[in-house]
């Protein structure tokens, strides 16, 4: 059942951040209480939008709890699989930033039926409801994991796609559903493929490579690296949020049916190099190279298109994120980084 937190919200279908009457433009964020979503909501509010967040709050409301009294923030506790929730959430919105879903290979692998329902079937529902309620812009958060195992080349948005996990495959299928589903309509869909995300967030995660490496360095004094030669592109969670908003705000002709990798060309690293960066930011920590990794993904990604078309460039480096997480742990803000709440696969299916 859809639940709404009590707060006032002004909505409009007009383009721009406000209409001639001064009402703020409404953007719906799905999964706005998540690791990236909490940053998206805050950045939108800071940029003068009204924000509606549709989220089950499966991980709690820590990412948005302090926004309850904000008159421009509307919290809907609901499910993207339920048509009545999605229709209510999209009604009156100018744009949608669609983040909600099961994220990560391990979490998606635990229950394939749930993954297909939430990551794929709900996408179809979202598209149909957005057409029905008349939204104008639709930005979908996908992943660079769709490139899969291809470390011989630097990949761009037109490269061959080779997903090697259910998580990547459902994201790729959702991309296609979105572009095809909005054909012949006035909706402007845009796909964003994130690099591997890192950094501190109100809804913290430690099931991400840089974050868990940092926690191990702080708590154990060593960073374990499995394999080490695999390539990963990286992006800070705040930059990921900014990339979504850049797509929402860009001229329609530049982003309609387009795909953008969001990250930084200077942050393509081998796993071993990431370990060395982390150890260098944590006094006394050292890198310990272990056996081969079972993770077959290895890819380097170009982010030139986002820079040229959107004028987008990340503000954070990996070292910045490592220091954030290091200081978060040192301050005691995170009492136990091994707590299930910080791991999608553990918390969702505990």
Q: Provide the whole-model pTM.
A: 0.92
271/169 same-domain check: no
In contact, 266 and 235? CB cutoff 8 Å: no
Quick one: what percent of the chain has pLDDT higher than 90?
Answer: 81
Residues 6 or more apart in contact with residue 151 via CB below 8 angstroms: 230, 231, 298, 299, 300
12/159 same-domain check: yes
159/202 same-domain check: no
Q: How is residue 322 written in tokens?
A: 């490592």
Q: How is residue 129 written in tokens?
A: 């409801």
Q: Are strands 258-262 and 26-30 parallel, antiparallel or unpaired?
A: unpaired
pLDDT in tens, 245-271: 999 999 999 999 999 999 999 999 999
pLDDT in tens, 302-331: 999 999 999 999 999 999 999 999 999 999
173/224 same-domain check: no
Reply yes or no on whether the pLDDT at 287 is more than 70: yes
184/282 same-domain check: no
Q: Is residue 302 part of a domain?
A: no
Name the residue range of residue 62's domain: 3-197+235-262
53/186 same-domain check: yes
Question: What pLDDT is stored for residue 21 in this prediction?
Answer: 47
Q: Is residue 308 part of a domain?
A: no
CATH classification of the domain holding 52: 3.40.50.720
255/107 same-domain check: yes
Q: Is residue 311 part of a domain?
A: no
Q: Is residue 305 part of a domain?
A: no
Residues 6 or more apart in contact with residue 26 via CB below 8 angstroms: 9, 10, 11, 12, 49, 50, 51, 52, 92, 93, 94
338/209 same-domain check: yes
Count of structural domains, the chain: 2
CATH classification of the domain holding 209: 3.90.25.10
219/333 same-domain check: yes
The values of phi and psi at residue 150, to 5°, are -160, 70
């Amino acid at each position: 059942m859809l639940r709404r937190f009590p707060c006032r919200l002004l909505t409009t279908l007009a383009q721009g951040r406000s209409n001639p009457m001064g009402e703020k433009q409404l953007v719906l964020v799905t999964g706005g209480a998540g690791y990236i979503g909490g940053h998206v909501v805050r950045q939108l509010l800071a940029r003068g939008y009204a924000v509606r967040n549709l989220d089950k709050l499966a991980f709690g409301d820590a990412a948005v709890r302090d926004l309850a009294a904000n008159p421009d923030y509307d919290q809907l506790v609901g499910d993207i699989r339920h048509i009545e929730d999605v229709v209510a959430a999209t009604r009156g919105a100018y744009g949608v930033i669609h983040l909600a879903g099961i994220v990560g290979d391990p979490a998606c692998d635990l229950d394939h039926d749930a993954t297909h329902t939430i990551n794929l079937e709900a996408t179809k529902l979202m598209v149909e409801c957005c057409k029905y309620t008349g939204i104008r812009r639709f930005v979908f958060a996908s992943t660079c994991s769709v490139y899969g195992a291809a470390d011989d080349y630097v990949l761009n948005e037109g490269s061959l796609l080779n997903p090697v996990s259910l998580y990547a495959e459902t994201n790729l299928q959702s991309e296609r559903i979105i572009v095809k589903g909005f054909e012949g309509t006035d909706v402007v869909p845009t796909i964003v493929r994130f690099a591997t995300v890192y950094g501190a967030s109100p809804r913290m995660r430690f099931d991400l490579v840089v974050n868990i490496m940092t926690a191990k360095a702080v708590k154990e004094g060593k960073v374990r690296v499995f394999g080490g030669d695999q390539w990963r592109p990286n992006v800070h969670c705040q930059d990921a949020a900014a990339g979504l908003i850049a797509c929402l705000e860009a001229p329609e002709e530049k982003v309609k049916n387009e795909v953008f990798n969001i990250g930084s060309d200077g942050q393509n690293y081998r796993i071993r190099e990431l370990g060395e960066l982390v150890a260098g930011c944590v006094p006394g920590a050292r890198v310990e190279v272990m056996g081969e990794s079972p993770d077959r993904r290895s890819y380097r990604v170009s982010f030139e298109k986002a820079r040229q078309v959107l004028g987008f460039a990340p503000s954070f480096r990996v070292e910045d994120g490592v220091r954030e997480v290091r200081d978060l742990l040192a301050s005691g803000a995170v009492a136990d980084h091994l707590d299930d709440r910080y791991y999608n696969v553990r918390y969702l299916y505990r």
